Structure formats: C-alpha cells, structure tokens
Amino acid sequence: MAARHVEFTREMREAGYTILAPNMLDFHFSLMEKVFHLNGYNVEILKNDGPGVMAEGLKYVHNDTCVPALLVIGQFLDALHSGKYDLNKVALAITQTGGGCRASNYIFLLRKALKKAGLDHIPVISVNLSGLESASGFQITVPLLRQVISSLVYGDCIMHVSNQTRPYELHKGDTDALIERWNADLIEQFNHGKGLSQKEIRANMERIVADFDAIERSREKKTRVGIVGEIYVKYSPLGNNHLEDFLRTQDCEYMLPGLMGFILFKIDNRIQDIDLYGGNPFKKLLCTFLKRYVQRMERLLIDAIATRPAFVPPSPFSHTKSLVENVIGYGCKMGEGWLLTAEMLELAENGYENIICAQPFGCLPNHIAGKGMIRRLTQVHPGINIVPIDYDLSATKVNQENRIRLMLSVAGDAQKKRRQQELLIAQDEAAAASCGGDCAACKQSAG
C-alpha cells in the first residue's frame, strides 16, 4: 500500500508545528534555521548522532539504498522516537532536487519509513525549486530565497577563512570563539532585518575576513588537504564519520569547496538542459537571472577574502567549470558530475593537491566522476594526490582513517622533497651571489 501524502497546511504553520530538518553544515544551517524562524517557520536543525541513527536507518530503509538516504531518514526516525517532540505537532522537511539522483526519491522513502513506524500522519515537506511538490503551509518566496542565499554566502566565507586559520592559531580556541561571535552577530542582524543587502554583505564579509586575519598564527607550513565528494558525505559529520575532526588531529590544513559553487552548478544545469533539449523560455530567463544574482554574491565573497593576502580565496564558478573542458563532459551531471572533477582540479590549482574524495555507498555516478577520474586527473595535473574513501554503514572508521593516514604520509614525503629542492636552489643562489658569478661552478652553469 502506498504511503500517505499528508500536506503541511497553513493551519499547521500557524499552530507552530516544529519542522525538523537534517543537518549538513553546522554554521550554514544554523543561520538558515534563524532565517526560517524570521519567516514564520518553527524549523529545528537536527543534531542527533551516533549508532542509534544508523540503526534506525537500517531498520526502516532497504540496505541497498545509498548511505545519505539511510542516514538522513535514520536521523529523522531517531529524533521522532527520542520522546523530545509532540508527534501530533511535528513535520519533516527534506530537499528534493528533481534530477536523476535517487535523492529525488528520498521523500517517498521517508514516507514509507514513517508508515512502517506507524507515524504516517506526520507531514513531509518537499523543499524544491522544480515544482515537484507543494504545500500550502510552506512557500519559498523571493525574500526567503534571498535570505537563504545570504546565509550560504556568510557560511562559505567563514568556512574558508576559519579552515585557513584554525591549524595555525597560537592560542587554541581563538578561531572557534570567533565563529561563535560572528554567528551571534549575524543572527542579531537578521533579527533586525539587516545584513541582507549586497552592501551590508560586502561590509560584513570584509569585517569577518579582517577579524580572522587578526588571529595570532604561526608561520609553519602544514600539509594542505582538500575534501570533495558527494555533497552530503563531503560536509556532514554524520555522513563522513567526523572527517574534519579527524583531520584536525593530524596536524594538517584542510579545505572544502563552498556551497555557492554547488548552487551555481544546479542552476547552470537547468539552463544547459533547456539549451540542449528545449523547454520553457520563461524558466530559462528566471534561471539566468538567478544565476547572475548568485554570481554577484560569489564575487562579493571572493573579493572579500582576496583583500587579505594570508588567505586563498575560492575560484569563480566560471573558472572552475573551465578547468574540466576536454577532461569530462558537461553532460555528466549526476552524483555531482563534472563539478566533482572540477573541484579536485580547483583545489589542486589553489595549493591543496592532497585530496580526499568522500564517496557514499550506492551512488554509482559519484564514484565514476570521483575515483573514476583519478587517472585522468593525474595526467592533467601531475603531482595531485587523491585518495577515494568509501562511506558505508558496514565500513569501519579505523580502515577509513588508516587510508587517509597513508595519503598524508605520501604527502609528507613529497613536501619534504620539495623543501630539500628549495633549500638546494636557495644555497646555489646564495653561492652565486657571494662569488659574483666568477667561480668555476657558476661559469659551468652559465655555459
């Protein structure tokens, strides 16, 4: 029997239903949570973690389903069974892309799981821009979309500069304390309707970057690591076994591409589909306008970070896209598609040649665009050091971390070799400067 489709109505919204949503990025989502509060939605981002989430996912979802679905649905069911919420006054929200990914069917898997658990009276809200489903009590308006995008811009800015600051801070905890301070500051601005115009966003981000640059840091060089992969396991601590926490213990600097690039990738896909296969010209016009708006926000982000030479800013989406020309086709769009390959080249170009490719069980396109492209990427960018890590509920955390340690060991050896070469070059230059170029070695070199 098909699972019930219970609509989230205006009456439910006005009654103050708690809307639960899965977590992926702590800072980004904490800001978006407040944005939804400002727009009249009692949204709560879930933070529950641990083996109970996995157990609930395996209990209510077929184990051949991809890992992100198991974890997201497991997190929902674990929260509902926790006793924390009034089950007659709660709703669930989940994104629905509308593409070829099984993520488009998460919502149906979730409803099926709720039916199996005897909770199919709980409404499930589809958050999408594709017109797949609608709910009278939940509407994505232009002001709401603008506020969400602003939250993502701030989140990307703080993520980029904090990741480049934390490994080098002289006083442990300074970076995290500053993150909390800016979190409170931005939420206070949102409460007063501020921090949302392009002028205010530019000013705020310049202050953010200046504040992080003011943190006292050491000048040592640490191994730089980039993180790419399927969007959920790339960002979510639940999905990647707290990968970022582990890397912090390994004395390295890590970097993740921001969400702005992924948003532009999804918008760009809509435009390309219409160009290739036809479609509604009004939809193309709307997507083109939205893309230009997001690119303006991306430009504000890049310019703000670029004001401080100590930080490496992200590359513009247009440049990232150009990196994979003649490497992978732009028609490869499922499982992050060409963007996954492009992000590896972007990170390598920006100095993060050691790359962890986080890939979930059950996402074949992601494995193709990730580990399937490693050989080609080593030809395009010699020296790139990529380790694909499979995230499966049956995989052990120890095995995953040992593979990363091996990658870091290889990276460390390469770094030592480069330093030795730099030292030899510096010694040769110093010798040449001291002898004035008249010694036999210099004459032989010149000859």
Mean pLDDT for the stretch of residues 170-184: 93
Mean pLDDT for the stretch of residues 396-417: 84
Residues 116 and 229 in one domain: no
Collect all residues with Cβ–Cβ distance below 8 Å to 365 and sequence separation of at least 6.
Answer: 100, 101, 332, 334, 335, 336, 337
Confidence of residue 445 (pLDDT cuts 50, 70, 90): low
User: Where do runs of H (alpha helix) occur along 81-141?
Assistant: 106-116
Q: Looking at residue 407, what is its pLDDT? A: 87
* Domain of residue 384, CATH code: 3.40.50
Residues 350 and 239 in one domain: yes
Q: Is residue 199 part of a domain?
A: no
Instruction: Sort residue 94 into left (φ over 0), alpha (ψ -120 to 50) or beta.
Output: beta
Confidence of residue 18 (pLDDT cuts 50, 70, 90): very high
Q: Is residue 418 part of a domain?
A: yes
Q: Is residue 292 part of a domain?
A: no
The closest of 397, 396, 383, 320 to 355, measured between CA atoms, is: 383
Confidence of residue 439 (pLDDT cuts 50, 70, 90): low
Collect all residues with Cβ–Cβ distance below 8 Å to 134 and sequence separation of at least 6.
Answer: 126
Characterize 109-138 residue by residue with b for buried, 16 or more Cβ atoms within 10 angstroms of its Cβ, and e for exposed. Answer: bbbbbbbebebbebbbbbbbbeeebebebb
Mean pLDDT for the stretch of residues 228-234: 91
Token pair belonging to 8: 């989230």
Q: Looking at residue 98, what is its pLDDT? A: 62
Q: Which of 140, 160, 182 lies at the terminal end of a domain, its last residue?
A: 140
| Domain ranges, residue 46 | 10-140
Token pair belonging to 416: 């030592």
10-14, 278-282, 291-295: range with lowest mean pLDDT: 278-282
pLDDT above 60: residue 387 = yes
Q: What is the rounded CA–CA span in Å between residue 130 and residue 109? A: 19
Q: Is residue 441 part of a domain?
A: no
Eight-class DSSP state of 4: P
Q: Is residue 186 part of a domain?
A: no
pLDDT above 70: residue 227 = yes
| pLDDT 10s digits, 81-97 | 999 999 999 999 988 76
Q: Is residue 337 part of a domain?
A: yes
Residues 112 and 236 in one domain: no
Check residues 435 and 386 and name the one with the higher pLDDT.
386
pLDDT above 80: residue 435 = no
Q: Looking at residue 1, what is its pLDDT? A: 45
Q: How many domains does the chain have?
A: 2
Amino acid letter, 201 = I
Q: Is residue 385 part of a domain?
A: yes
Characterize 364-390 residue by residue with b for buried, 16 or more Cβ atoms within 10 angstroms of its Cβ, and e for exposed. Answer: ebbbbbbbebbeebeebbeebbbbbbb
Mean pLDDT for the stretch of residues 386-398: 87
| pLDDT 10s digits, 312-351 | 999 999 999 999 998 898 888 888 889 999 999 999 999 9
Per the CB < 8 A criterion, the answer to whether 360 and 67 are in contact is yes
Mean pLDDT of the chain: 87
| pLDDT 10s digits, 103-135 | 667 888 888 999 999 999 999 988 876 666 777
Question: Is-above-0.75 flag for pTM?
Answer: yes
| pLDDT 10s digits, 129-169 | 666 677 788 888 888 888 888 899 999 999 999 999 999 99
Per the CB < 8 A criterion, the answer to whether 86 and 74 are in contact is no
Q: Is residue 287 part of a domain?
A: no
